[in-house]
């Protein structure tokens, strides 16, 4: 902790070993005037009382005060007032301090976006113009600005413009900066894939409606959209994360072309790879796919059992009742403690099963981890 | 319970927290859809339908006001004894509007603790000297021994009796002790400066750290206590519970604040009662002799009708100070307790305490803070236990084996390095599976069904870490849930709104809004004379002690009443009503920029404020009606000074009442709260009458001297010897010294240096010694 504070004190960007803080070896509790908790917005002079370094110039002081007023206005939803301060704050791009000059574009971009999103008189053209300006203001956050711009366009229903922006951003290359913004690039490609999928669905419905004359050309377009979407979506799904919309789209695409093996592989990877977070939706998608495929009850049950361990109250638990005719087995699944415990399972389940049919639901639910009252009211 | 069918895309990788890069910290929460939950990338189903005015219809807030009649409370003195912050003034230029901090640096107390902690160093020397002259035994002294020895038996007995009541403000010093202290306070002790300085430095460091961040008031001392049926008699509108974390309220203060609210703004009751926050303040900062005020927890029953006093149900004692006490939302009479020794207990009124865990180490990585917190979860037998590094859920039935991690400071939640859990809160009233975790950087909404990966993440940009939180759940799935975050020292209050959790993924609705802190009330008060102004400023700038909110019953608007308690004991409230739709205002907007009506300027919650003072001002009665705020200040948003909400005459009325009550309480302040005179004793206590009486056969000179002495004592003047009329006799000059009578080297050298020829003498000395040494 202290070493962390020390590092901030120096204000440098030098790297220190990740493990030192992570495993706690850097934590020591020497008597220090600093609190044990790192406070991010503590004034610098409280953090290290000895005055070191250069004193801030009046220009910097003014800009700092201006920023505080902007922040105040934003938090009180006074967008017009914030915008007026913002016009004055733009001068900070000429700041004499190199550090502040570097940080200024990001500040201006964030605040400007926020103001333009909420100001009653802002229009989408103004927002586009602002975003273009911000993209040219620095290469370090080019892709991030692009991504945010696309989100804004999508939220306003401007899908074509968003698609154009995504295509432009996808091809952006700037030496090392491209690799530094790898995550943003991946997201941009994925969202482009998502929009390709959207276009693909439009073409599909169009093709189904059309007669044979135009269907060929439409089908050609549809296939090209499929190829673009599949490449991009497959890429992002490999990285650990939460990719529900992407996975759904990708599965839909593949199922249309009947590539079921790939779907099965993707979904089982998404659900069971330990590098991925324990997303309940991954199991739901896998189960739904298997159900569509008409898999055996045993396979379906095994998927549902794993889902039950994560979310005992999920709606799909009702399917357990349909799949398992024996109430005894249902109870065994439901009353198995949810957490990874060594507790013994209920042994004499027969008696309990007999009782549960008679008892009101409230009296039995304390036997085990069971969240869904819904389930028992139906199955018992 | 449904789980959202599709969550927002996000990278997620286990591992250590990402390094904190220097970036515009106060702005971290703005402008990013990708990071703030609401404004994350849209999910596919919503790409085409998400409209611009997400959550706009539910935004707060137009201020209305009312004033609360003051609760009855002993503590009526202003917060005048708040000493200065040691670093105050250093940050005066940092931010406009930043208020001063008050905190205690009590050197007298520290010295007293030093005497208690180091009696050997402080009294050892004098004690050994006086050992023979003090008799500590019980028996009476024999006549012979009484010549040189005094018995201090009664003194010791008296000290022992007073030990338990040392902190009682009403305790009068007994005459015997006072006399002894007058006699001996100047010479009895000895202060080893090195040791004292070391202790003082350590103490100052602790105090300073505590000033910057103090986790004792975590959770707050204010809670909304809803009633059973929701149908309230009009005179019992609402109640607040204050616990003894507030300095000055040593005892649990349950109070009922009745009346005062306007009829339309009366909140309906709900069904649950809770005492949040640490039930006992603890003095962890004082070194050596911790003055832990309260190791006891008590559970009170409020089932009685409104007029009846609350009944204590059960009182327990813990071996370490408790840091958390939460009430089960599932089962009546069940609570969870955490202590600073790392223990988690389940407290059932019928079966007593059950210890679930005792682990002084933190859960995920090493962290020195002993702070722990515990909440209930969606399952009535599962508790969540938090420390600074994260949250774990454990099953009450098998606490050692059945547990899973709900949140940890790490890569899954995209935490930053140095981030620590400040306050977890169970959001069961919004969604049964949701939890809120506030750190000093961000707030997270977690779902038990998808642990470790937050459903919602937003950087809150608060200046001080949020340690108070309150949830006002939305009435239906469509309306947003409102979360209030409060900071301790800076009194900041932030309102967040979010939706989702069951059908759709969690989203923030609309930008956050800062509510007005107590200290901004100063500008609504009429100008006072300077000392009063200073006192008022100090009083209003006292750190916050709790935040709560309650829905008010007012049909078309259904405002939300937000209450904020300060450590000085003042209770303030503001009322938030939904914003009108933005379209109507923007359509009316004139084109010229200076006269633009800013949508939110008119929606200031503050110009009219309710204020309640912790003093006996019952007679103030119901205060003027709600002041509907005009748009008088809507156009003048250019300069910050003008943009501050101006107060109309009517709006200032509640503040005026508060001020009158405060001033009345100050002027009626009881005697003992004024600074006490230093204890003095009369001379007849020091000397016997015989000693004071005139000795026989005194000369007129003695008589004159005695008169002069009396007069000098009466006039408190100095008495110089020449006042007696005797001229000061000049001192006789000593005989001149004959240098030759002192033939040794040192005397010669001194003589030479006295005469100014020391250098020559030395050279001569060297010149003399060298040839002698050479010849030898």
Per-residue pLDDT, B176: 82
Using a 10 angstrom Cβ sphere, with 0-12 exposed, 13-18 middle and 19 or more buried, the burial of residue B344 is buried
Weakest-pLDDT range from A159-173, A332-346, B133-147, B214-228 = A332-346
Ranges A299-308, B143-152, B335-344: which has the least confidence: B143-152
Element (H, E) at B507: strand B507-508
Tell me the pLDDT tens digit for each residue of B345-402. 998 888 888 899 888 888 888 888 888 999 999 988 999 999 999 999 999 988 888 8
Query: How does the average pLDDT of chain B come out, rounded?
Result: 67
pLDDT in tens, B41-81: 333 333 222 222 333 333 333 333 333 333 333 333 333 33
CA B277 to chain centre: 13
Contact at 8 Å (CB) between A233 and A249?
yes
Q: Please choose, from the candidates B282, B114, B138, B274, the residue with its C-alpha nearest in 3D space to the C-alpha of residue B198.
A: B114
**Minimal C-alpha gap between A351 and chain B (Å):** 22
pLDDT of residue A210: 75
B331 in contact with chain A, both atoms CB, cutoff 8 A: no
Q: What phi and psi, each to the nearest 5 degrees, are found at residue B551?
A: -75, 140
Picking from B8, B13, B14, B27 by the largest number of A CB atoms within 10 A of its own CB, the best residue to mutate is B27
3-state helix, strand, coil in chain B (%, to 5): 25, 20, 55
pLDDT for the residue A363: 32
**Structure ipTM over 0.85, yes or no:** no
pLDDT for residue A184 is more than 70: yes
Render pLDDT for B521-545 as a digit per residue (tens, 0 to 9). Answer: 777 777 777 777 888 888 888 888 8
Q: pLDDT over 70 for what percent of chain B?
A: 60
- Tell how many helices (H) and how many strands (E) occur in chain A: 21, 1
Torsion of CA A289, A292, A295, A300, to 10 degrees: 60
Q: Closest chain A residue to B413 measured between Cα atoms?
A: A277
Q: Which residues contact B440 (CB under 8 A, 6 or more apart)?
A: A37, A38, A39, A40, B419, B420, B422, B465, B466
CB A290 within 8 A of CB A299: yes
Listed range (A72-81, A303-312, B571-580, B651-660) with the worst mean pLDDT: B651-660
Residue A208 burial (CB count, 10 A):
9
Distance from CA of B21 to the nearest CA of A (A): 7
d(CA A115, CA A126): 11
What pLDDT is recorded for position A80? 92
Omega before A112 within 30 of 0, i.e. cis: no
Return the pLDDT at B101. Answer: 41
| Intra-chain end-to-end CA distance of chain B, in Å | 113
By C-alpha distance, the chain B residue nearest A10 is B22
- Decide the pairing of beta strands B571-576 and B560-566: antiparallel
Question: With bands split at pLDDT 50, 70 and 90, how would you rate the model's confidence at A309?
Answer: confident
B98 vs B202, residue with greater confidence: B202
More confident residue, A304 or B204: A304
Provide the pLDDT for residue A85.
92
- Find the CB nearest A371 among B25, B210, B379: B379
In order of A50, A65, A224, A260, B145, the CA distances from A53 in angstroms are 10, 20, 60, 65, 71
Q: State the average pLDDT over residues B289-296.
A: 36
Q: What per-residue confidence (pLDDT) applies to B653?
A: 65
CB neighbours of residue A261 within 10 Å: 9
Question: Out of A119-133, B72-86, B406-420, which region has the weakest mean confidence (pLDDT)?
Answer: B72-86
Q: Among B260-274, B328-342, B551-565, B697-711, which is the least confidently predicted range?
A: B260-274
Contact A279, A306 (CB under 8 A): no
Query: What does chain B come to in residues?
Result: 776
Q: Is B594 on the interface with A (CB under 8 A)?
A: no
C-alpha B774: how far from chain center: 82
Q: Average the pLDDT over each of A237-241, B261-265, B477-481, B716-720 and give the range with the smallest value.
A: B261-265
Q: Do B7 and A187 touch (CB under 8 A)?
A: no
Task: Say if residue B416's pLDDT is above 90.
Answer: no
Q: Which residues of A touch B54 (CB under 8 A)?
A: 155
Q: Tell me which of A247 and A140 has the higher pLDDT.
A: A247
CA atoms within 13 A on the CB side of B685: 12
B30, B366, B637 member nearest A110 (Cβ): B30
CB atoms within 10 A of CB B361: 12
Ranking A191-200, B287-296, B519-528, B666-675 by mean pLDDT, the lowest is B287-296
Give the pLDDT confidence score for residue B284 in this predicted structure.
24
Token pair of A113, please?
């976006």
| A314–B90 CB contact, under 8 Å | no
B20/A contact by beta carbon, under 8 A: yes
B712 has pLDDT over 80: yes
Q: Is pLDDT above 70 for A110? A: yes
Residue A70 has pLDDT above 80, yes or no: yes
For the purposes of burial, counting CB atoms within 10 Å of the CB of B493, is it exposed (0-12), middle (13-18) or buried (19 or more)? buried
B516: closest chain A residue by CA? A76
Residue B333: pLDDT over 60: yes
Selection from B433, B441, B420, B307 nearest residue B372 by Cα: B420
Mean pLDDT for B237-258 is 36
Q: What confidence category does residue A29 fall into, taking pLDDT thresholds of 50, 70 and 90?
A: very low
Highest mean pLDDT among A332-336, B121-125, B595-599: B121-125
In the DSSP assignment, the letter for residue B147 is G
With CA atoms as reference, report the closest residue to A47 among A4, A14, A18: A4
Q: Report how far Cα B736 is from the mean position of its chain's Cα atoms.
A: 71
Phi-psi sector, A191: left (phi>0), alpha (psi -120 to 50), beta? alpha
Please give the residue of chain A at the shortest CA–CA distance from B215.
A37
Instruction: Judge whether B87 is closer than 8 Å to chain A, CB to CB.
Output: yes
What is the CB-side half-sphere exposure of residue A144 using CA atoms within 13 A? 19
Distance CA B436, CA B417 (A): 20
In Å, how far are A234, B103, B107, B520, B684 from B80, measured between CA atoms? 67, 11, 17, 19, 37
DSSP SS3 for B322: strand
Q: Do B202 and A107 touch (CB under 8 A)?
A: no
pLDDT tens for each residue of B617-638? 322 322 222 222 322 232 222 2
**pLDDT value at residue B512:** 86
Q: What is the DSSP letter of B729?
A: P
Say if CB B550 and CB B564 are below 8 A apart: no
Subunit contact A79:B27, Cβ cutoff 8 A: no
Helices (H), B20-152: 107-117, 119-129
What are φ and ψ of residue B341, in 5° steps?
-90, 5
The C-alpha atoms of residue B633 and residue B62 are separated, in whole angstroms, by: 13
Sheet holding B238-242, edge to edge: B222-224, B238-242, B253-257
- Yes or no: say if B627 and B650 are a contact pair by the CB < 8 Å rule: yes
- Could you tell me if B450 and B405 are in contact, meaning their C-beta atoms sit under 8 angstroms apart? no
Is the model's pLDDT at B740 over the cut of 60?
Answer: yes
Sign (positive/negative) of CA torsion B393, B398, B401, B402? negative
Q: Does residue B586 belong to the interface with chain A, where contact is any CB pair within 8 Å?
A: yes
Indicate whether B748 pLDDT > 70.
yes
- When mean pLDDT is compared across A122-126, B224-228, B639-643, B757-761, the lowest value belongs to B639-643
Closest to A270 (Cα-Cα) out of A296, A294, A246: A246
Q: Distance from A258 to chain B by nearest Cα, in Å?
A: 22
- Evaluate the omega torsion of the peptide bond into residue B61 and state whether it is cis, within 30 degrees of 0: yes
The set of long-range contacts for B438-444, using a CB threshold of 8 Å and a minimum separation of 24, is: B438/B465, B438/B466, B438/B467, B438/B469, B438/B485, B439/B409, B439/B415, B439/B465, B440/A37, B440/A38, B440/A39, B440/A40, B440/B465, B440/B466, B441/A40, B441/B28, B441/B415, B441/B416, B442/B415, B443/B483, B443/B485, B443/B496, B444/B407, B444/B413
Are B565 and B242 a contacting pair, CB within 8 Å?
Answer: yes
Strand partners, B253: B242
Tell me, what DSSP letter sits at residue B44? Answer: G
Could you tell me which of B580, B578, B579 has the C-alpha nearest to residue B558? Answer: B578
The nearest CA of chain B is from the CA of A298 a distance in Å of 24
Contact A243 B596 (CB under 8 A): no
Cβ–Cβ below 8 Å for B9 and A245? yes
pLDDT in tens, B186-237: 888 888 888 888 888 888 888 778 778 888 788 877 776 655 444 333 333 3
- Rounded CA separation B130/B124 (Å): 10
Tokens of A226: 């499929």
**Greater model confidence, B86 or A141:** A141
Mean pLDDT for B467-487 is 86
CB atoms under 10 Å from CB of B80, counted, come to 16
pLDDT of residue A297: 86
> How many angstroms separate the first and last alpha carbons of chain A?
55
Query: Could you tell me which residue, B50 or A307, shows the higher pLDDT?
Result: A307
Q: Which phi-psi region, left, alpha or beta, contains residue B774 (left: φ > 0; alpha: ψ -120 to 50)?
A: alpha
Output B280 or B194, whichever has higher pLDDT: B194
Number of C-alpha atoms within 13 angstroms, CB side, residue A82?
A: 28
pLDDT of B300:
62
Higher pLDDT, B761 or A54: B761
Burial class of residue B315, CB neighbours in 10 A (0-12, 13-18, 19+): exposed
SS3 content of chain A, % helix, strand, coil (to 5): 70, 0, 30
Phi, psi angles (nearest 5°) of residue B224: -85, 130
pLDDT at A258 over 60: yes
Query: If we measure between CA atoms, which residue out of B101, B171, B234 comes closest to residue A43?
Result: B101
- State whether B7 and A279 contact (CB < 8 Å): yes
Average per-residue pLDDT in chain A? 75
What pLDDT sits at residue B557?
66
pLDDT at position A371, please? Answer: 42
């Amino acid at each position: 902790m202290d070493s962390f504070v020390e590092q901030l004190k120096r204000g440098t960007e030098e790297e220190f070993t990740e493990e030192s803080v992570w495993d706690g070896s850097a934590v020591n509790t020497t008597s220090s005037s600093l609190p044990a908790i790192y406070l991010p917005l503590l004034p610098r002079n409280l953090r290290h009382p000895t005055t070191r370094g250069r004193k801030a110039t009046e220009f910097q002081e003014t800009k700092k005060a201006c920023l505080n007023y902007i922040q105040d206005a934003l938090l009180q939803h006074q967008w017009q007032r914030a915008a007026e301060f913002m016009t004055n704050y733009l001068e900070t791009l000429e700041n004499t301090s190199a550090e502040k000059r570097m940080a200024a574009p990001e500040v201006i971009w964030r605040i400007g976006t926020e103001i333009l999103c909420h100001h009653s008189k802002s229009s989408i053209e103004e927002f586009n113009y602002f975003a273009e300006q911000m993209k040219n203001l620095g290469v370090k956050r080019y892709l991030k600005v692009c991504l945010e711009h696309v989100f804004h366009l999508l939220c306003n229903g401007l899908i074509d413009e968003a698609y154009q922006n995504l295509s432009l951003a996808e091809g952006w290359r700037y030496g090392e900066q491209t690799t530094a913004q790898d995550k943003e690039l991946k997201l941009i490609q994925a969202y482009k894939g998502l929009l390709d999928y959207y276009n693909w669905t439009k073409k599909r419905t169009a093709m189904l409606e059309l007669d044979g004359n135009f269907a060929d050309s439409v089908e050609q377009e549809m296939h090209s959209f499929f190829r673009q979407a599949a490449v991009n979506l497959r890429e992002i799904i490999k990285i650990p994360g939460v990719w529900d919309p992407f996975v759904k789209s990708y599965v839909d695409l593949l199922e249309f072309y009947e590539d079921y093996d790939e779907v099965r592989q993707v979904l089982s990877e998404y659900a069971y790879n330990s590098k991925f977070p324990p997303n309940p939706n991954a199991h739901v998608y896998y189960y739904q796919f298997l159900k569509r495929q008409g898999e055996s009850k045993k396979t379906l049950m095994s998927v549902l059992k794993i889902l039950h361990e994560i979310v005992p109250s999920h709606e799909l638990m009702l399917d357990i009742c349909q799949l398992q005719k024996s109430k005894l087995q249902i109870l065994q699944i439901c009353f198995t403690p949810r957490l990874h415990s060594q507790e013994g399972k209920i042994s004499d389940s027969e008696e309990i099963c007999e009782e549960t049919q008679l008892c009101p639901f409230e009296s039995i639910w304390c036997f085990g981890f069971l969240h869904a009252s819904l389930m028992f009211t139906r199955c018992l | 319970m449904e789980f959202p069918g599709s969550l927002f895309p996000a990278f997620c990788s286990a591992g250590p927290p990402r390094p904190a890069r220097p970036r515009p910290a106060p702005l971290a929460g703005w402008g990013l859809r990708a990071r703030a939950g609401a404004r994350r990338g849209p999910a596919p189903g919503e790409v085409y339908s998400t409209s611009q005015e997400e959550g706009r219809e539910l935004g707060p807030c137009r201020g209305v006001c009312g004033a609360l009649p003051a609760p009855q409370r002993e503590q009526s003195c202003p917060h005048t004894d708040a000493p200065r912050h040691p670093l105050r003034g250093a940050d005066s230029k940092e931010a406009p509007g930043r208020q001063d901090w008050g905190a205690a640096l009590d050197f007298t107390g520290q010295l007293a603790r030093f005497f208690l902690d180091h009696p050997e160093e402080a009294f050892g020397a004098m004690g050994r000297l006086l050992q023979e002259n003090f008799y500590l035994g019980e028996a009476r002294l024999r006549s012979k021994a009484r010549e040189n020895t005094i018995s201090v038996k009664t003194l010791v007995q008296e000290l022992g009796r007073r030990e338990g009541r040392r902190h009682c403000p009403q305790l009068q010093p007994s005459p015997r002790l006072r006399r002894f202290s007058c006699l001996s306070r100047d010479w009895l002790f000895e202060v080893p400066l090195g040791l004292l300085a070391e202790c003082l430095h350590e103490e100052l460091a602790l105090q300073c750290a505590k000033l910057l961040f103090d986790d004792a008031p975590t959770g707050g001392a204010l809670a909304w206590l809803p009633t059973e049926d929701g149908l309230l008699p009009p005179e019992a509108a609402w109640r607040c519970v204050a616990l003894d974390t507030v300095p000055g309220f040593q005892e649990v203060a349950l109070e009922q604040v009745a009346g005062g609210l306007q009829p339309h703004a009366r909140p309906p009751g709900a069904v649950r009662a809770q005492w949040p926050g640490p039930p006992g303040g603890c003095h962890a900062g004082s070194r050596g002799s911790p003055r832990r005020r309260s190791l006891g927890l008590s559970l009170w029953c409020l089932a009685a009708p409104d007029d009846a006093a609350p009944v204590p149900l059960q009182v327990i004692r813990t071996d370490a100070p408790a840091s958390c006490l939460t009430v089960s939302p599932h089962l009546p009479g069940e609570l969870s307790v955490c202590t600073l020794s790392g223990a988690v207990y389940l407290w059932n009124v019928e079966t007593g305490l059950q210890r679930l865990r005792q682990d002084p180490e933190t859960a995920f990585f090493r962290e020195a803070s002993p702070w722990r917190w515990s909440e209930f979860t969606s399952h009535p037998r599962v508790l969540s236990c938090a420390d600074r590094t994260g949250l774990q859920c454990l099953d009450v039935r098998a606490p050692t084996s059945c547990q899973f991690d709900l949140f940890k400071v790490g890569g899954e939640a995209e935490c930053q390095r140095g981030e620590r859990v400040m306050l977890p809160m169970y959001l069961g009233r919004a969604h049964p599976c949701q939890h809120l975790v506030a750190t000093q950087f961000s707030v997270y909404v977690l779902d038990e069904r998808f642990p470790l990966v937050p459903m919602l993440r937003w950087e809150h940009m608060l200046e001080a870490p949020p340690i108070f939180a309150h949830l006002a759940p939305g009435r239906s799935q469509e309306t947003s849930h409102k979360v209030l975050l409060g900071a301790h020292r800076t009194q900041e209050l932030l309102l967040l709104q979010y939706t989702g959790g069951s059908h759709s993924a969690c989203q923030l609705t609309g930008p956050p809004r800062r509510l007005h802190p107590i200290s901004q009330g100063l500008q609504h008060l009429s100008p006072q004379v300077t000392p009063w102004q200073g006192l008022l400023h100090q009083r209003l700038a006292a750190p916050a002690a709790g935040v709560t909110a309650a829905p008010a019953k007012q049909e078309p608007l259904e405002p939300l009443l937000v209450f904020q308690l300060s450590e000085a004991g003042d209770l303030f409230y503001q009322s938030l009503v939904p914003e009108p739709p933005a379209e109507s205002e923007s359509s009316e907007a004139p084109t010229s920029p200076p006269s633009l009506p800013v949508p939110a300027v008119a929606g200031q919650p503050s110009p009219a404020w309710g204020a309640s003072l912790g003093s006996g001002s019952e007679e103030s009665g119901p205060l003027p009606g709600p002041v509907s705020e005009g748009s008088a200040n809507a156009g003048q948003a250019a300069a910050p000074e003008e943009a501050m909400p101006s107060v109309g005459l009517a709006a200032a009325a509640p503040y005026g009442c508060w001020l009158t009550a405060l001033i009345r309480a100050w002027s009626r302040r009881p005697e003992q709260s004024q600074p006490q005179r230093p204890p003095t004793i009369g001379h007849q206590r020091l000397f016997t009458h015989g000693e004071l009486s005139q000795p026989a056969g005194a000369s007129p000179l003695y008589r004159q001297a005695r008169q002069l002495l009396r007069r000098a004592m009466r006039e408190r003047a100095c008495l110089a010897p020449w006042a007696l009329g005797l001229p000061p006799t000049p001192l006789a000059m000593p005989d001149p010294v004959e240098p030759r009578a002192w033939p040794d080297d040192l005397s010669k050298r001194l003589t030479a240096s006295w005469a100014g020829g020391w250098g020559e003498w030395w050279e001569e000395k060297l010149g003399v010694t060298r040839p002698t040494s050479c010849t030898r």
